Every structure is written in structure tokens, then in C-alpha cells.
Amino acid sequence: MSEASARRTAFRLTRDAVLGVALAVQEYFALLVRVLRACFTRPFYPGDLVQQMDTIGVASLFIVVLTGFFTGMVLALQSAVEMEQFGATIYIGRLVGASAVRELGPVLTALMVTGRAGAGMAAAIGAMKVTEQVDALRTMGVDPVRKLVAPRFIAALIMMPLLTVVADLIAIFGGLLIAVLKLGLTADLYMRSVYTTLADNGFVFQYIPVDLVQGLGKPIVFGAIMALTSCYYGIRTEGGTEGVGRSTTQAVVTTSILVLASDYFMTQLIIVFLL
């Protein structure tokens, strides 16, 4: 192959890759528009919504509790090692509370739920796609986006903040156990320290701590990303059972990347506009 031919081939491959990414982004946001329209127009499917709330929320509760509990304990242990050198172990509650509510609670909850519920969404819809059940819905006059995607999207918006609250509370409790049993602090001192760090950054509307807005606002976005991305890859599944596995992997990886990236940008916006 000549050098000119190699350059043309490289250019063609690069062009096709860029066009493929641009088309995928366009389809992704087109799906978002259709989902938002389905959320506010009839017909609704409340039975599917309740089922998805159970699948996303209740079924993910165990892994979220475990994640929050051990994360809080590890935070307290690791910070105690450094703080003991300066006699600052009384501030363990500040570190655990701030880290759990602002960042670790929302992010770790989103990643755990993505690995469990998000993968399930992509696999379920992907299996329906390759077995032509999605086409059967269209044949019966049922919009697959309204029937399959919208209930999962709404359920994720509702359940992700609730799971994050559970993770935050369990993480604070895990830190409390370490502070009391290992570091010799009192429970009252620890909880006062947690409250102080949440109040230090000020309040929105004079009553709601900014950290609480941050800690509950992010999971809403993460839930939307998880549901939309998982359903997007599920609907695009091709290639039989191998395609289902491929779509599931792509959904989990892409959602994880989007969650981490969006976390940074949301944190930056909160710092600029609220702090």
C-alpha cells in the first residue's frame, strides 16, 4: 500500500468514526426528547413505573447500604490516621459528613445502581430487541419508548435521590461507629461535627443547606443519565445474545464515565453559583 493510499484510508476511518460518534450523540438526545415528551403526555403506564421503582430502588437497597456503611468506616479510619498526628480527631465527623453528602454518597450510589439496575435495563430491553418484542409492540400500536423507557426514566429520577439519602445516613453511621468504638469520641460530638460541616457553606432560601442541595441534586441527574444511557444501548442492540452482552457492557461503561464527568461539571457550577 502506497503512502497516499494509507493516508486516504486513515482519513476515511477517522471520518467514519467522527460521524458515528456524532450520529450516536444525535440519537441519544433525540431519545431524551421523546422520553421527556412521554413523561408528560398520555398514555401513562403506572404499573410499569411501580415495578421499575421496585427494581431500581428496593432491589438495590442492600448493595447501597453495604457501600455506604463500609465507605463511612473507611473514611473515618483513613482520616483518623492523619488527624491523630495533629490532635484533630474531633473533626472526623466533619470529614465524613462532608465527603459522604457532597460527593461519595451520590457518586458511589450512582455507580453501584448502574452496575446492578442499569445493566439490567440494557439487558432486558436488548433481549426484547433481538427477540423482536420491541417490533411487536410497534405492530400493536404501542410506543416502545413510552412503554419501556419512560417508566424506567421516571423511576430512576425518583429512586436515585432516595437511595443516596440512605447511603449518606449509613455512611455517617459507619463513621460514627469508628469514632466511638475506635477513637473514643462521643456520639454527640461526632453528630454535632457532622451538622456543623453541613451548615458551614450556608443555606438556600435560609433553611436548606447548600451541601444538601448538592447532595440531592446530583443523584437526579445521575439517575437520568443511568436510565437514558442504559435504555439507549438496549434499544440499539443487534447481533443476538452476543449483542445483548455487548450492549450491557457499553451501557455500564458509558454511564460510569458520564456520571464521573457530570459530577465534576455540576460541582464546578455549584461552587460558582452557590458557594
Q: What is the pLDDT along the chain (275 residues), one digit of tens a residue?
A: 567 777 778 778 888 888 888 998 999 999 999 999 999 998 889 999 999 999 999 999 999 999 999 999 999 988 888 887 777 788 888 889 888 988 899 999 999 999 999 999 999 999 999 998 998 998 898 999 999 999 999 999 999 999 999 999 999 999 999 998 888 888 998 998 888 887 776 666 566 777 788 888 899 999 999 999 999 999 999 888 889 999 999 999 999 999 999 999 998 888 887 66
Angle formed at CA 93 by CA 186 and CA 169, multiple of 5 degrees: 100
- Say if strands 208-209 and 203-204 run parallel, antiparallel, or are unpaired: antiparallel
Report the alpha-carbon distance of residue 64 to residue 67 in Å, rounded. 5
Q: What DSSP state is assigned to residue 140?
A: T
Contact 171, 190 (CB under 8 A): no
Domain boundary assignment for the chain: 1-41, 42-273
Q: Which amino acid is at 191?
A: M
Confidence at residue 95, expressed as pLDDT on a 0 to 100 scale: 87
Residue of 111, 98, 56, 140 whose CA lies nearest to 255: 111
Cell of 244: 445483548
Q: Which amino acid is at 20?
A: G
Report the alpha-carbon distance of residue 101 to residue 115 in Å, rounded. 21
DSSP 250-275: HHHHHHHHHHHHHHHHHHHHHHHHT-
Cell of 192: 454535632
- Kindly give the interhelix angle for 150-181 and 3-40, rounded to the nearest 10 degrees: 90
Residues 74-104: b if buried by 16+ CB within 10 A, e if exposed: bbbeebbeebeeeeebbbbbbbbbbbbbbeb
Confidence at residue 256, expressed as pLDDT on a 0 to 100 scale: 96
Cell of 78: 483513613
Cell of 109: 450510589
Confidence at residue 171, expressed as pLDDT on a 0 to 100 scale: 94
User: Residue 203's beta-bridge partner residues?
Assistant: 209
- Kindly give the interhelix angle for 187-200 and 150-181, rounded to the nearest 10 degrees: 130
Report the alpha-carbon distance of residue 173 to residue 185 in Å, rounded. 13
Distance of alpha carbon 132 from its chain centroid, rounded? 29
